[in-house]
Structure 1
């Protein structure tokens, strides 16, 4: 994407202005401005305690802001509850990541697709009535590389594959904006590589906002990064540019400086 051209009206699917959150006098997030451009991967990063999680919770409406506004797809969602926002297409991965361990991989995706039949809560229907969803469910499994695991119980999947299933069920809700919260947390090197490739694949035709601690992952997948420190934005832009900002280097000094350096290699 050409970042040198000024964005046209409507280019940004999610915007936050002056976003502030106070907890009993403690200011966790201060005057955060954020714009997520359609069709890109935007990463929210920062050292421990920078306010990433609070900011992410504000954007996904799990926490109400003390001040500021949030606009999604041209509509003010500042005071909307998270379920209503999710129905509008802003979907956070863990909202539907309650993978049913004793259902098959295919059945898990079919559950997410049930809302397209208007029968999300009609569990008394015959299982065979959901067979019409199989082709669509398999298409999502193909997108995340789980076709060969379709008949396996979800509980039997390795950890990295479970995260892939989680993303597949999220995609089944047809999100306009896919939000991923630390998708590689707790993974070994092999799983990190697999999930990184998966995110790159699903982001080809979607907008993604991601909170991620692994800077090597961020450097590979993010078009734009926003760096937080003590609840404030200290840098924003392409990874190669923003990660070399002196304020960013100083913020990570002594904690994740090595990760920043490795990501440049």
Structure 2
């Protein structure tokens, strides 16, 4: 009798299988294997130049891999376009980010909702044609703590609130798998805790993969962590396991204050 597999393939919402990307002979990502468990928050970390952004771009179809494949819910999406995988529920936060600076928060979310409903945005359309989306837009703003800022333009928001607005526009696309690319980058200390709690809240019931330099955020949010170095997986485990790994400590030496 054959032994049962260690894990059921259905346990994983997003997988990278021997994923690689070369640029003119330079291997930016090499043989990356990654499995993101359904309903979990998983971090992808590594020192500068480790290949995190390239790997993210491969997963969200911004780049086409040189080798390997990407699976979403077990389905091979390697050769699909970004718009196609977004319709399947894989959405990268801030990829639509051109939050429109001179539109209000409500209008920004409404534009994203139009996209999610397969409707193109037309500036010359009468306002009455999109008013039915206002209730849903307000619900999303409520979720991210921006209901009272609905009438403010994006330029009037603090940096942390702009990030919250970007998360609201991402939620408008109804992601089942959400990829967050450095959500606290550039934030002041006062904004990090609220955004961390917001990510925890909106990740409930979803699968989330996050690239993040702030390791206190990673330790607070993420159940599993994959560490990249020189485009390859160095180690994977819980935060406690990874933070005690001598290879990880060496890779980060001088790159962060502490693990």
| Aligned-partner Cα distance in 2 for 1:119–1:54 | 30
Equivalent residues in 2 for 1:11-26, closer than 5 Å: 11-26=11-26
Q: Is 1:57 equivalent to 2:57 in the alignment? A: yes
Equivalent residues in 2 for 1:151-230, closer than 5 Å: 151-230=151-230
- Structure 1 residue 141 displacement after superposition: 0.7
Q: Is the 2:9–2:74 contact (alpha carbons within 8 Å) kept by the matching residues of 1? A: no
- Structure 1 residue 167 displacement after superposition: 0.4
| Aligned-partner Cα distance in 2 for 1:58–1:110 | 28
Q: Is the 1:21–1:65 contact (alpha carbons within 8 Å) kept by the matching residues of 2? A: yes
- Structure 1 residue 103 displacement after superposition: 1.3
- Structure 1 residue 118 displacement after superposition: 4.3
- Structure 1 residue 94 displacement after superposition: 2.2
1:33-53 deviation digits (Å, cap 9, x = unpaired): 000111111110001111111
TM-score with structure 1 setting the length = 0.92
Partner of 1:263: none
Q: Is the 1:47–1:252 contact (alpha carbons within 8 Å) kept by the matching residues of 2? A: yes
- CA RMSD, Structure 1 to Structure 2 (Å): 1.5
- Structure 1 residue 117 displacement after superposition: 5.0
- Structure 1 residue 254 displacement after superposition: 2.2
Partner of 2:237: 237
| Aligned-partner Cα distance in 2 for 1:40–1:65 | 25
| Aligned-partner Cα distance in 2 for 1:196–1:9 | 30
| Aligned-partner Cα distance in 1 for 2:115–2:62 | 22
- Structure 1 residue 120 displacement after superposition: 2.1
Q: Is the 1:214–1:259 contact (alpha carbons within 8 Å) kept by the matching residues of 2? A: no
| Aligned-partner Cα distance in 1 for 2:199–2:182 | 12
Q: Is 1:97 equivalent to 2:107 in the alignment? A: no
SS in 2 for 1:27: strand
Gaps of 5+ in 2: 1-5
Larger deviation: 134-143 or 158-167?
A: 134-143
- Structure 1 residue 72 displacement after superposition: 0.9
Q: Is the 2:116–2:172 contact (alpha carbons within 8 Å) kept by the matching residues of 1? A: no
Gaps of 5+ in 1: 1-5, 261-265
| Aligned-partner Cα distance in 2 for 1:201–1:7 | 27
Q: Is the 1:242–1:248 contact (alpha carbons within 8 Å) kept by the matching residues of 2? A: yes
Partner of 1:259: 258
| Aligned-partner Cα distance in 1 for 2:54–2:116 | 32
Partner of 2:66: 66
- Structure 1 residue 153 displacement after superposition: 1.3
| Aligned-partner Cα distance in 2 for 1:105–1:25 | 44
SS in 1 for 2:185: coil
1:172-209 deviation digits (Å, cap 9, x = unpaired): 00011111111111111011111111101111121111
| Aligned-partner Cα distance in 2 for 1:98–1:30 | 31
Partner of 1:124: 124
Q: Is 1:41 equivalent to 2:38 in the alignment? A: no
| Aligned-partner Cα distance in 2 for 1:221–1:11 | 20
Q: Is the 1:216–1:259 contact (alpha carbons within 8 Å) kept by the matching residues of 2? A: no
- Structure 1 residue 136 displacement after superposition: 1.0
- Structure 1 residue 116 displacement after superposition: 5.3
Residues 118 and 53 (structure 1 numbering): CA distance in 2 closer, same or farther, change over 3 Å? Answer: closer
